[in-house]
Amino acid sequence: MSKFQNILAATGQTVLDKRAASIVKQTKAAMIKKLNDLNDKKDNLELEILDLTDLSVETKDSLRPGDKNYNATAWVDTLVAKSLELVLLDQEIEIVEALNAEYFEEEAPGIIAEAAK
């Protein structure tokens, strides 16, 4: 039997199983990519906050924090905005990790049975 004939003769369940495996693989990869993108964004945001909170004086004779264009109101607004963004990003990462665990991680045999006892 030729490969093409085998494909045509495949039963409904065989085809469904192959499609399901492909969809699972694609979706799991998308979930991992989402998680990696969020973690990269978090790393960058943490660096921005670190740069923002580096208030070292310009020289040992200066009390001007950061740079010569320091603006207290803008600094506070930016720090609050970045801190809020970090909190929300942490929550989003937590949700994505929970969804990944729920939908893609294999459960150890007996875990559900043990929990039901």
Whole-number Å distance between alpha carbons of 68 and 104: 51
Q: pLDDT tens digits for 49-85?
A: 998 888 776 666 666 666 677 888 999 999 999 999 9
When pLDDT is cut at 50, 70 and 90, the band that residue 114 belongs to is low
In percent, how much of the chain has pLDDT > 70?
81
When pLDDT is cut at 50, 70 and 90, the band that residue 44 belongs to is very high
Instruction: Report the amino acid identity of residue 114.
Output: E
Whole-number Å distance between alpha carbons of 93 and 37: 10
Q: pLDDT tens digits for 4-39?
A: 877 777 777 777 888 889 999 999 999 999 999 999
What's the chain's Rg over C-alpha atoms? 26
Q: What is the pTM of this model?
A: 0.73
Q: What is the pLDDT of residue 111?
A: 46
Kindly list the domain boundaries of the chain, sorted by start residue: 3-116
CA distances from 33 to 28, 36, 38, 104 (A): 9, 5, 9, 14
